[in-house]
A and B are shown apart, each in its own frame.
Chain A
Amino acid sequence: MESVAMAKELVKEFKGVRALDGLSLEVPSGITYGLLGPNGAGKTTLIRILVGIASPTAGEAIVLGRRPGSSGNAREIGYMTQLPALYQDLSVAENLEFFAKVFGLEKKGERKQRIDEVLELVEMTGKQDSLVSSLSGGMKQRVSLACSLVHAPKLIFLDEPTVGVDPSLRRAFWDHFKRLNSEGVTIIVSSHVMDEAERCDRLGLLRRGRLLIEGSLSEILSATSETKLEEAFLALERDGLDNEKAGLA
């Protein structure tokens, strides 16, 4: 099994806070990998390190066979930040045009075609000339996703991509993610939504900067002898707390 992203004993410390606490993880190619965990678990921090815009305090990571942040990676990675990272004072099309150029789509025709494709995917074709600042929250989220996909990356990091997106479009997004998987694209997605998590090929459950468990949905369910992911997760949380108490005692 070829792995696209690998993290080994990652530690990330902010002043007084250990956001990642010796986290190791491996993501095989061509799947959708879900990162689950409560607020502050370290999902965004992990994604930032793998994308290469933050560096770990300790430990190492290999992404697409290179160190995160190396110039070869940048073109092949798409990153959708947790909050829509868009220029509010530019139109939808201008944002897409800009990121397409910066991410290396140099040919005008190719750029135009990709922009039309992603606009259609996020159902924003009619709104391409609207200023981003005039869009609703969910629409911004959709444009932000479009900007992350425009350069057709091989590895896509999506930090809670469907927050604020309505159910039918959410379904369309996931169908698209599956389609991308079948084309060999790997997606690493963080989420709080359990029914979304159930559509991931593999899951990693994070808590306090550590990986509690990882595997496919059925593996996790059988390991915890639960029938629903949500229950499995809560059970693991309880165990974690019990272990800590035991450790303290």
Chain B
Amino acid sequence: MSGTRILAIAQRIIRQFGHDKRTLTLLFFVPIVVISLLGPLLTTKTTFKIGLVDEDKPFAPPASAAAKPAVPPPVIPGMSPPALGNKAPGERPKPKPVKVSDRAIDALKADGDLTVTVVREKEIPSLLRDGQSVAVLKFPANFSKELLSGGSPKATIVVDGSNPSRAQGAIAKVQKALASQGKSDSKLSIDVGYRYGGDNFDALDYFAPAFIAFFAFFFVFLLTSVSFLRERGQGTIERLMSSPASRLEIILGYQLGFIVFATIQVAIIMLYTVYALKVHYIGNIGAVFLVEFLLTLVGVNMGIFFSSFAANELQVIQFIPIVIIPQALLSGIVMSVEEMPKYFRWLAEVMPLTHANNALKGIMIKGYSLGEVSFEIAFLIGFALLMVVLSAATIRRRIA
């Protein structure tokens, strides 16, 4: 084993990318661009435009009814019935007319996430078609009268169901706003405590660790595959194999070269997310880099291994849907692994990116020590070693 040779190979890789400014730009700035684009998408609170049709009329309950303590059942969950006045019997003042829908509308308007526009019934179809409103809430005529007379009238909500998650979100929001309208009467209050994260954490905090892992793996894998493919194509691998450099030295040289790039990339992503995007990290930075280091080893060796199955650069691109996209989908970036169907979970469990994500999330969000993510670390080391063996075994493919 010769340090000079390993260093020479690492240095050569660094020089090659030094001549290729565009790839360097890709390596260091694309993650920042992508995170910048995704950041606002992930963190913007979802707001909804709601149309409102109000055909309700004020209703003055009869004096006799007002004297009764009977409370009509609430129509919308959580919405408390209007106060009916509790004057002493015998005074018999004339009751004031009440319009229940107004109180509901005030509650909706008070919600910052809802933009409420009062519309007419016949406008509903065009509102939903043009996307001006995602939902239209309608209070029928005599809503107050029925409610105050002890009936249970129904308000209706019509949603644009073409985007189910938006529709569900809008319904939930409206129900929540109407429920909170009765909150002042409610005795129920909840103190929210955070075990991990906090109410100042948002979706980007959760996603940032996964992005770091993803980008490092993606670029290292792809660039190694292409570099090694060229090594075979231009015949330099023959010269290397005829040299005193052993296969292990070649692999180690490649790893060292790419680790330099991966480390710079991670540092840039970290600095950018912490200082520009104000992402919260509480973990140990050394542990983060260690995970990244292991993931780079996996990426380099998978790249060398897979490059022996590619005859040209176009075929390397075909590895993106085969190797990269399944990991992007299943490693917990899009959906957390615990929430996946069982068979997907099995698949996710054998993917290196899943374990890198788990480790990074643990370290960065939950503040875990290396010992607390030791399983993930062990998995990554094991996977990297397996890939070293496979890449060493296939390095000579297409030569001898």
Q: Which positions in A face B, CB cutoff 8 Å?
A: 48, 51-55, 71, 74-75, 77, 79, 81, 83-90, 94, 98-99, 101-104, 106, 131, 147-148
Q: At the interface with chain A, which of B11-19, B54-62, B372-380? A: B11-19
- A79 and B242 contact, Cβ closer than 8 Å, known pairs A84-B235, A89-B16, A90-B16: yes
Given A81-B235, A147-B239, list of 12 further CB < 8 A pairs? A52-B242, A53-B238, A53-B400, A54-B400, A87-B12, A87-B16, A89-B19, A90-B12, A90-B15, A90-B19, A102-B5, A102-B9
Contact string, B52-78, partner A, CB cutoff 8 A, digits 1/0? 000000000000000000000000000
- A102 and B240 contact, Cβ closer than 8 Å, known pairs A81-B235, A90-B15, A94-B15: yes
CA of A71 to CA of B1, assembled, Å: 11
CA of A84 to CA of B396, assembled, Å: 19
Counting chain A CB atoms within 10 Å of each CB, which of B5, B12, B243, B396 scores highest? B243
Chain A residues with CB under 8 Å of B396's CB are 53
- A86 and B15 contact, Cβ closer than 8 Å, known pairs A101-B8, A102-B9: no
Taking the complex as formed, is B322 at the interface, i.e. its CB lies under 8 A from any CB of chain A? no
Chain A residues with CB under 8 Å of B238's CB are 48, 53, 79, 81, 85
Q: Which of B236, B241, B244 contacts A86 (CB 8 A)?
A: B236
Contact indicator B400/A83 (Cβ below 8 Å): no
- 19 residue pairs of the A-B complex, CB under 8 angstroms, read A53-B238, A74-B244, A77-B242, A79-B242, A81-B238, A83-B234, A85-B236, A85-B238, A86-B236, A87-B236, A90-B16, A98-B8, A101-B4, A101-B5, A102-B5, A102-B8, A102-B240, A102-B245, A147-B239
Taking the complex as formed, is B185 at the interface, i.e. its CB lies under 8 A from any CB of chain A? no
Chain A residues with CB under 8 Å of B83's CB are none
Contact indicator A75/B239 (Cβ below 8 Å): no
Contact indicator A102/B244 (Cβ below 8 Å): yes
Chain A residues with CB under 8 Å of B188's CB are none
Chain A residues with CB under 8 Å of B399's CB are 48, 53-54
Q: Which residue of A lies closest to B400 (CB)?
A: A54
Chain B residues with CB under 8 Å of A77's CB are 242
Chain A residues with CB under 8 Å of B245's CB are 102
Taking the complex as formed, is B20 at the interface, i.e. its CB lies under 8 A from any CB of chain A? yes
Contact indicator B244/A75 (Cβ below 8 Å): yes
